[in-house]
A and B are shown apart, each in its own frame.
Chain A
Amino acid sequence: MLTMSEPHFRQPLLKTPFHERSRALSQVDSFVPWSGYTTVDVFTTVEQEYFAIRNATSVYDLTPMVKYRIAGPDALRFLNRLMTRDLRKLAPGKVAYSVWCDDSGHLIDDGTVFCLAANEYRLCTGERQLDWLCASSIGFDVEIAEVTEEVAALAVQGPTSCALLRALGLDGVERLKPFELGQFELATLPIMVSRTGFTGDLGYELWMRTADAERVWDALMEAGRSRGVRPIGSRALNIARIEAGFLLPNLDFVSASHTLRIGSERSPLELGLGWLVDFGKGHFTGRRALLREQQRGPERLLVGLDIEGNKAAHNALLYADRAGRTQVGSVTSAAWSPTTKRNLALAMVDAPHFATGATVWAEIYLNRELVWQRRMARARIVERPFYAPPRRRATPPADF
């Protein structure tokens, strides 16, 4: 596998199977490392790419997501012990978003579990997990293999995405409900489609053999020409995912596998992911600690902020008072939202200041033609997601 590319000391980052296609369409040569791969940050402009997500169809290369095949007689028992959700309810053909924790109830990562067949799963995560998965699998009859380099993946997201896939001959894709998956053929290529995504909009994720990647890409671009298809980079996606209220590791939380400082770990309860924790399903790693935390109440909470003004509150410190005397948290992700026309942020806020509807003050630095000014902006704590169009759930989706 590794011998296919340049030696790693000469070229530490791998290229995804879509790299040549991406490079050809990249107008601004803006690439960033992601999970060991070089990936596109911006193709043309962030704004154009963002509106492909909310107005037409966007295509995003998510091959660097780390993928594991987890199979064997104990696969379900293993995953159910590992994760906070009850996966016994996850039938073949279904997908679940879940998190997993260490013994102290601190979040290790989040990810999606695809149930391909009974006791056969694919786990898709942001960070590499082989060490933790293997350590957790002692006593379970389960095989765990990383398949990141064997499976190429594209996110096809936006209001016209379903129509585009149907135009490619993926009959029945319109019947997929959110968090369902199906096996299809694109021309003659086998392709797995899941109705999942990171945009909070109508959208699908396409999973294919690496060897088929360029042909699938070409087919999408060809069929999508009349439906406003556009490849997008990570910057545009980041705005959409903030609108959707989704979390990114290393921005909104640091995995307990990486923290050096005590107190910088996060629990799912603190991240507002309590709905993923099923205390009734039987034992799972971190359960006791999370139960204690639930009884105690979290010390801090990840919340959504609606901030006055239009300057995104990147890295802003948050205060209880306008004078900035008492710090109560900080912003983890921020963006001006072109769709909701609001100044949005995700923020970690200390108890007891995190109640929905409460006001905190964000310290924002404004660059006025190189004259820096400090502004205390009123920020209201609001429910997430900030944007949730009905089309994200409509089945079948509208045709175009």
Chain B
Amino acid sequence: MNATAPERYDAIVVGAGHNGLVAACYLARAGLGVLVLERNAYIGGAAVSRKLYDGFTYSNCSYVCSLLRTEIIRGLDLPHYGLQIIPYEGGCTLMRNGEHLALYDNHDATRREISRHSRRDAESYDRFVRDMLRHCRFIKPLLLREPPDPTSFKPRDIKELLWLGRHFHQLGEARMYDTLRFWTQSCADLLDEYFESEIVKAHMAGSSIIGTALGPRSPGTAYVLLHHYMGSIDGAVGAWGFARGGMGAVTQALAASFAASGGTLRSSAPVEEILVRGGRATGVRLAGGEEIRAGVVVSNLDVRRTFLETVAPQHLPPEFLAQVRRFKIRGSSGKLNIALDGLPHFPAIPQGSPCTRGDMHVTDTIDMLERAYDDWKEGRWSRAPYIDMLIPSQIDPTMAPNGKHYMSVFVQYCPYKLADGEWTAAKRQAFGDTVIDTIAQHSPDFKDLILHAEVRTPHDIEAEVGLTEGNIFQGELTFDQLLFNRPIPGYAQYRAPLHGMYMCGASTHPGGGVMGAPGANAAGAILRDLRLAQRLTA
């Protein structure tokens, strides 16, 4: 909020989510005058730390960190601006029969734990991790690259396609087959190739449906599983961790890095329209009527919100608009943020096990997960939902007063549109109760410890964050919406069908998960168009 800011900027970024801020940082570092406009009074989009209850900090949207690219963390000096990421110490699934499956950060402990359920699975787990890492090695170099357009004859596209072809061919025969199969496979089919034990499969399957309006038996979910594997912490591929101070630490560090590069950030500044003249984006108009001009306009909003609500339709090609309307961005996730008076007791977990200091789940079979999805298809929230439950305050002392705890509960599935009519406060309450009851089945003292609970439906997430239908990935991560098809075939290279206008949100390649890669890639595309590519710092 700089009162003396000039009225004209080289670039305006609409939305101060992490991708908007990443793009803004790279553009500012390249010497551009950059303005970031945020609708809310606080910045961060879906990577925020909110103080909604006395003494507690909630990561009330995204809640854990792994995918944020190391190149971005280093390139933008985010640790210097306060970003610290601390890995999980384990994870577990609580079973309905009072048993549990845990994973630990020690390989031998994990092997012995899995072998309690199946000796063979304890070994297959290594094969599974190996194959996931092999897929990661293939996909990692694609993340910070503009996806090549296979229909284009531009030298850059041809060069990139050749690179991709070579990269693919280096896999060798067997792995090429595996890779092709993998991208379209269902998670359940994938896991059947490795594991015999239901609980092991159920535990692994969770990340294949997070944020996704598909079930574990739907084709395409194997890729979603991998999407959650391709991050890393300090070289440990697949590891997840807590951003110290909550996920807002990511966007606060980005904002500080941006400010240090001379960028300008205005919050409470909702963009009403992206201005277009003669097929060219010329700036934005804010809700109050203020107009700000810029040579480049970058939208961090999802592709639906960008083109259906922020750009006048007459400026856009009708076919493009039709595809934007069809872009799959279905709401399927809810979230509870709970302030607890103490650490809840989970009788299934042996005393002293660190597996609660990571992700906890309660879905113990693939069938149970698929049934949860069936409810979503019927237009109701899952009666036995999949939950990704964490208590970050066990590790991060900044999240809750000493002795008290903050619990983040991600919930799958929760529909945007209910079969029995609109969302109401009473239905939100009932949804929250379903989740709380589910947890209470595994923790007798849980309900008594609740001091405050924030319940967020897909509707709430849409209303507060702006994500269409509350879809956490700004669009489904299915193969028809990945790589050169993300978000819209022919428009996968961050450029809108208007001169000077770009997209940088998770609707673009390589998708969501607080990765920052779309923002970085968009900045690269912009700087190349401005013939300033040599100024790109990462």
Contact = CB atoms under 8 A, between A and B. Distances in A.
A40 to B, nearest CB: 17
B352 interface: yes
A259 B175 CA distance: 13
A206 to B, nearest CB: 26
A2 B350 CA distance: 14
A2 B137 contact: no
A9 B109 contact: yes
Given A8-B109, A9-B90, A104-B174, A258 B130 contact: yes
A260 B137 CA distance: 8
A258 to B, nearest CB: 6
Nearest to A9: B353
A146 interface: yes
Interface residues of B, number: 32
Most chain A CB within 10 A, of B109, B112, B172, is at B112
A204 B130 CA distance: 36
Given A12-B104, A128-B123, A257 B130 contact: yes
A12 B106 contact: yes
Main secondary structure of the interface of A (DSSP, over half): loop
B108 A33 contact: yes
Interface in B121-135: 123-124, 126-127, 130, 133-134
Which of A36, A131, A134 gathers the greatest number of chain B CB atoms within 10 Å?
A131
Interface string A289-324: 000000000000000000000000000000000000
A7 B104 contact: no
B130 A262 contact: no
A2 B116 contact: yes
A191 to B, nearest CB: 27
B108 A36 contact: yes
Nearest to B196: A134
* Residue among A7, A129, A259 with the highest chain B CB neighbour number at 10 A: A7
A67 to B, nearest CB: 14
- Among A9, A257, A262, find the residue whose CB has the most chain B CB atoms closer than 10 A: A9
Contacts of B137: 260-261
Interface string B478-489: 000000000000
Contact of A257 (B108, B126, B133, B353): B126
Contacts of A33: 108
Interface in B113-166: 113, 115-116, 119-120, 123-124, 126-127, 130, 133-134, 137
B220 to A, nearest CB: 24
A260 B123 contact: no
A164 to B, nearest CB: 34
A10 interface: yes
A130 interface: yes
B343 interface: no
Contact of A131 (B124, B171, B355): B124
Given A9-B350, A9-B353, A13-B108, A258 B116 contact: no
B16 to A, nearest CB: 38
A134 B130 contact: no
Contacts of A258: 126, 130
A28 B127 CA distance: 37
B477 interface: no
B170 A262 contact: yes
A7 B175 contact: no
Interface string B13-48: 000000000000000000000000000000000000
A7 B350 CA distance: 9
Contacts of B112: 2, 8, 12, 14, 36
B354 interface: yes
Nearest to B354: A9
Interface residues of A, number: 23
A135 B248 CA distance: 47
Interface string B79-120: 000000000001000000000001010111101110110011
A14 B106 CA distance: 13
A260 B119 contact: no
Nearest to A37: B108
A9 B355 contact: yes
A36 B122 CA distance: 12
Contacts, number: 63
Interface string B339-376: 00000000000101111000000000000000000000
Interface string A134-163: 100000000000100000000000000000
Contacts of A14: 112
A257 B90 CA distance: 24
A2 B355 CA distance: 18
A4 to B, nearest CB: 12
Given A130-B123, A258-B130, A9 B174 contact: no
Interface in A87-114: 104
A262 B171 contact: yes
Nearest to B174: A104
A12 B108 contact: yes
Nearest to A104: B174
A9 B127 contact: no
Contacts of A104: 174
B127 A131 contact: yes
B102 A260 contact: no
A2 B352 contact: no
Given A12-B112, A36-B111, A7 B124 contact: no
A356 B526 CA distance: 59
A129 B120 CA distance: 9
A13 to B, nearest CB: 6
Contacts of A260: 130, 133-134, 137
Interface in B448-492: none
Interface in A1-33: 2, 7-10, 12-14, 33
Contacts of A131: 120, 123-124, 126-127
Contact of A262 (B106, B109, B172): B172
Contacts of B102: 9
Contacts of B115: 2
A8 B111 CA distance: 9
Interface in B164-194: 170-172, 174-175
A130 B109 contact: no
Contacts of A262: 170-172, 175
A257 B126 CA distance: 9
Contacts of B133: 260
B168 to A, nearest CB: 12
A33 B112 CA distance: 14
A8 B127 contact: no
22 contacts: A2-B112, A2-B116, A7-B350, A8-B108, A8-B113, A9-B106, A9-B352, A9-B354, A10-B352, A12-B106, A12-B109, A33-B108, A36-B108, A131-B126, A134-B120, A257-B126, A257-B130, A258-B126, A260-B130, A260-B133, A261-B137, A262-B170
Given A12-B109, A257-B127, 13 more contacts: A2-B115, A7-B353, A8-B109, A9-B90, A9-B109, A9-B113, A9-B355, A12-B108, A36-B108, A36-B111, A130-B119, A134-B120, A262-B172
Interface of A: 2, 7-10, 12-14, 33, 36, 104, 128-131, 134, 146, 257-262
3 closest cross-chain pairs (CB), A and B: A12-B109, A8-B112, A131-B123
